Structure 1
Amino acid sequence: MGFLGRSRVGLRRLDGESPLRLVLLLCSFALTGYAGVRLLSGDWFGIVLWFAGAAVLHDLVLLPLYALADRAVAAVLPAPAPARWINHVRVPAFVSGVLLLVWYPLILGRQERRYENATGLSADVFWPRWLLITAALFGASALWLVIRVAIRGWRRRPGARGGGAEAGAAGSDGSAASDASDGSGASGPSDGERKPPTGPAGPTGPAGPSGPAGPSQP
């Protein structure tokens, strides 16, 4: 048990997280290595050439193209529109582009005979299905944008969120102010009434002399 505890602490120090995460990461590396060995067992030179060409094609051709397309879409959108609205164009375009990049030999009809000989199925369905998936992606993104705009407009309505409470508070403040004004009018003199003038105090006469006390009766 002590050895297992020490090994667990060592794994936690090595990975920085739980040991389960490290085990899953090692399993993914092993699976990737197995897939690479199986993939390179055939035409390994063609596979390596494809990966190198894909990297060069992406960095020198595709990256400038979709950067320009992104700028063009941002320029087409109206000025008051939030910048995050462009993600409703970026996300479906990205997914559609990835599907085209992976399946372009069949979508563009470059490998129809090889696919039909290997599977016995027709390769004519890839082009219309890719178009259908692209249309569905953009349609779903547009629908989500409409829902977001509707929710945003509803939240900005005066009575949708806290409007009733603010109106009630304003009404209570008005009634309190009117009550205070009524009370102050009742306690003070009205405009038609005047206080009688107070005259100067008269002189106070001197106190008379007090006589001697008479004899007390027995």
Structure 2
Amino acid sequence: MVDLRRAYGAAPWHLLLLVGCLAVAGWVALRLAGEPTAGRMLLWFVGAVVAHDLVLFPAYAAADRVLRRAGRSLRNHVRVPAYASALLFVVYLPGVLGLGDGTYAAATGLAPEPLLGRWLAVSGGLFAASALHYAARRPWRR
């Protein structure tokens, strides 16, 4: 076991988990290979990787570097609502941006117009709650 850990660089359970993840990814790739829209899905996946690695990662790394100067506590009070807001944005992306109106309306029977306002309201609420929490904790710090 010690030789495996030294050669691999991590615990054996990590290797087993990685092999399991690769097996699941391979199974999904085989399932999607027969789909007529597999090319479009691959294009979206590659586009998402490129957009994240070349645009988003440098942007939020720079923002984090700026927040690092403000202190650890403030940085975490900005990070948590920002991540939650970003996750909500990605999940509801077509509705927030007003894309796919017909699909959303057909699936839910609702109009997608209020989604942008709701996402902004939830994001504002998350940041406001975090600011209140930071303000409440601030007097207690030395």
TM-score (norm 1): 0.47
Aligned to 2:25: 32
The Cα RMSD (Å) is: 3.4
Structure number with bigger Rg:
1
Per the TM alignment, residue 111 of structure 1 is displaced from its structure 2 partner at its CA by: 0.8
The CA distance in 1 between the partners of 2:83 and 2:56, in whole Å, is 12
Residue 94 to residue 114, structure 1, CA distance change in 2 (3 Å): same
Aligned to 1:121: 109
Matches within 5 A, 1:122-161: 122-124=110-112, 125-152=114-141, 156=142
1:90 correspondence with 2:79: yes
Aligned to 1:50: 44
Equivalent residues of 1:109, 1:123 under 8 A apart = no
Aligned to 1:215: none
Share of identical aligned residues, percent? 39
Question: Which secondary structure does the structure 1 equivalent of 2:92 belong to?
Answer: helix
Per the TM alignment, residue 64 of structure 1 is displaced from its structure 2 partner at its CA by: 4.9
The CA distance in 2 between the partners of 1:70 and 1:17, in whole Å, is 31
Where structure 2 has 5 or more consecutive residues not aligned to the other structure, the ranges are none
Residue 63 to residue 22, structure 1, CA distance change in 2 (3 Å): closer
Cα deviation, 1:88-114, whole Å, max 9, x if unaligned, reads 223322332233234321211211212
The CA distance in 2 between the partners of 1:143 and 1:67, in whole Å, is 25
Per the TM alignment, residue 141 of structure 1 is displaced from its structure 2 partner at its CA by: 1.6
TM-score (norm 2): 0.68
Q: Which has the higher contact order (CA 8 A, sep 6+)?
A: 2
Question: Which secondary structure does the structure 2 equivalent of 1:110 belong to?
Answer: coil
Per the TM alignment, residue 44 of structure 1 is displaced from its structure 2 partner at its CA by: 1.4
The CA distance in 1 between the partners of 2:12 and 2:55, in whole Å, is 41
Matches within 5 A, 1:168-207: none
Residue 34 to residue 141, structure 1, CA distance change in 2 (3 Å): farther
Q: Which one-letter code corresponds to 2:77 in the other structure?
A: H
Equivalent residues of 2:4, 2:12 under 8 A apart = no
1:13 correspondence with 2:4: yes
